[in-house]
Structure formats: structure tokens, C-alpha cells
């Protein structure tokens, strides 16, 4: 039987994953992407994840492993697990082709421009300009882009779900902070999935469906982690898992969040967001000392 802590952890993971729907809503109800907001928000999310990874998660993992293995061995295993987490998410990232990689997120305006260009080329080739039907025109290339983006994001979100779940199990307050940070970074991923599918099919429901589906891999990751690891959840397993989670979150921050934040807006905006995220995370941790 699942206790309240486990259910709470799953709830946080579900919230973080399904926030891709926020990106869909922004794409459908805003004619122009608020790039400054996204830049600051993504920087903020990166700051939260970097600070909590180095200051809280890595330290807790080291303490647990040192208690189990001794100072020297515990520190070594913590460090190896940290870089092991980076290696795992880096391999996953490498296996996703660059065209479908969700890290290369385009704004709404860029997606519309791509869609218009494709229509123009198809009209020229087929000489059927009179049959152009706007958004309802089926664009196979854009549709594939959206589907592959959903698949790629689903793969990336799997370890993020495990990270959120494991954090919430050990420390619910820490789990909330991580869930919020991941939820923010899932917003542009929702845009990356829903916009091309919408402009290829003209079907908002289908675009929402695939956007939400890509986010569901996070609670799936949490469920797999629960089934495989929870029965063996002692200090040693916790230390290995937490150190790996720290590595995963650092890689996500450096490879996804900060580049995307700078791409969406001015360089300084992303840095202001980064520092603000660190400060908020620091204060929130101090309040519970």
C-alpha cells in the first residue's frame, strides 16, 4: 500500500511532467512568445537546479555514502555516481537526433514562419496555390517534427521523473523545489511539441494530446524507480541514486536550460534569472534548517 509520502511524490512528478500543457496553452493563446519571461524563467529554473544539486543533493548523497562506506570510499563513490548520472543523461541526449532534439526550441513566430515557407514550397512544386488551406493544410514535415519532439522529450523526461520522485521521497520540501524547477523547464518543451503538430493539422486537441503525452514519461520514470528501487531503498541505494540525480540535473541545467534561456532573450536576463533561482533556493533551504 502506498503511503502519503509516496503519493505526494507521485503527485509532484505528475505536476512537473504535465506542465508541458502550459507551453501548449502559451502557444495557442499568445500570438507572440514572451521571450523575456521565458528567458528569466528558464534561467531561474537552471539556478534552482544547479544550487540544489551542488549544495543539497550531492551533500546528502555524500553523507549517506560516507556513513555506509567510510569517508574516503564514500566520497569516491559519490563522485563516481555524480558523473555517472551525467554520463547517462548525456548518452540519452546523444541518441536523440539534433533535428528532433527538444533542446533546440523555436519560438511561436519561428514555427509559423517555417510552416508558411513549407506551404510556399509545396505550392510551387505542385502548382496548386489556389488550393492552399492555411492551418488545415497537412504538412508532413511539421507533423513529423512534432511527433519526434514528443518522443525525444519523453525520453529526456524519464530520468527527470525519477529525480523528482527520489527527492520528494527523501525530503518533500526539496521535492517541491525540484518539481517547480522542472515544471518551468517543461514549458518550452510543450511549445516544441504542440506548435508544429497544430500548424500541420489545425487540430488543437491533437496538439494538446501529444504535448501531455510527452510529459507523462516523468511519472512513468517515477513509477519504474518505485518498482525497481523502493524495496531496496537503504542509505547506500539512496546515496548512489541521489548523487546520480545531482549529475542529471546539472547536465540538464547546463545543456538545456541556460542555452535555451539565452536563446530566448538577452544574455543578462538569463543570468539574472539564474542568480534569482539560486537565491530563492538558498532562502527556502535556510528556512527549514
The answer to whether 123 is annotated as binding is: no
**3 phi/psi in degrees, rounded to 5:** -90, 180
- Cα separation, 95 vs 89, whole angstroms: 10
Q: How many CA atoms lie within 13 A of 20 on its CB side?
A: 30
* 128 belongs to an annotated ligand binding site: no
Q: How far is CA 27 from the centre of its chain?
A: 17
Contact status, residue 264 vs residue 39, Cβ threshold 8 Å: yes
Using CA atoms of 93, 158, 260, 210 in order, give the dihedral in degrees to the nearest 10. Answer: 110
User: Which H or E element spans position 249?
Assistant: helix 235-252
Neighbours of 141 (CB within 10 A): 13
Query: Does 157 count as an annotated binding residue?
Result: yes
| Residue 100 labeled ligand binder | no
DSSP 169-229: HH-HHHHHHHHHHHHHHHHHHHHHHHHHHHHHH--HHHHHHHHHHHHTHHHHHHHHHHHHH
Place of cell 519532439: 149
Binding site as annotated, residues: 157, 160, 185-186, 189, 218
Binding site as annotated, residues for Zn(2+): 160, 185, 189
Binding site as annotated, residues for Fe(2+): 157, 160, 186, 189, 218
Amino acid at each position: 500500500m502506498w503511503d502519503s509520502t509516496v503519493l505526494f511524490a507521485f503527485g509532484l512528478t505528475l505536476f512537473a511532467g504535465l506542465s508541458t500543457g502550459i507551453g501548449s496553452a502559451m502557444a495557442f493563446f499568445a500570438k507572440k512568445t514572451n521571450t523575456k519571461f521565458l528567458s528569466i524563467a528558464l534561467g531561474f529554473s537552471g539556478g534552482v537546479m544547479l544550487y540544489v544539486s551542488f549544495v543539497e543533493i550531492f551533500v546528502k548523497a555524500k553523507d549517506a555514502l560516507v556513513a555506509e562506506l567510510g569517508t574516503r570510499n564514500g566520497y569516491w563513490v559519490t563522485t563516481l555516481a555524480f558523473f555517472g548520472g551525467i554520463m547517462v543523461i548525456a548518452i540519452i541526449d546523444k541518441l536523440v537526433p539534433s533535428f528532433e532534439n527538444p533542446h533546440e526550441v523555436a519560438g511561436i513566430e519561428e514555427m509559423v514562419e517555417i510552416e508558411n515557407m513549407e506551404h510556399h514550397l509545396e505550392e510551387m512544386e505542385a502548382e496548386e496555390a489556389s488550393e492552399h488551406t492555411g492551418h488545415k493544410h497537412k504538412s508532413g514535415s511539421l507533423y513529423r517534427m512534432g511527433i519526434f519532439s514528443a518522443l525525444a522529450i519523453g525520453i529526456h523526461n524519464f530520468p527527470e521523473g525519477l529525480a523528482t520522485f527520489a527527492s520528494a521521497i527523501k525530503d518533500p520540501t526539496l521535492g517541491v523545489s525540484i518539481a517547480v524547477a522542472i515544471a518551468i523547464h517543461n514549458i518550452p518543451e510543450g511549445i516544441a511539441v504542440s506548435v508544429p503538430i497544430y500548424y500541420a493539422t489545425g487540430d488543437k486537441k491533437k496538439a494538446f494530446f501529444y504535448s501531455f503525452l510527452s510529459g507523462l514519461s516523468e511519472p512513468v520514470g517515477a513509477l519504474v524507480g518505485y518498482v525497481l528501487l523502493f524495496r531496496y531503498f537503504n542509505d547506500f541505494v539512496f546515496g548512489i541514486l541521489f548523487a546520480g540525480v545531482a549529475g542529471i540535473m546539472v547536465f540538464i541545467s547546463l545543456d538545456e536550460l541556460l542555452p535555451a534561456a539565452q536563446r530566448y532573450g538577452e544574455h543578462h536576463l538569463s543570468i539574472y534569472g539564474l542568480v534569482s533561482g539560486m537565491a530563492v533556493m538558498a532562502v527556502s533551504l535556510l528556512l527549514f534548517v
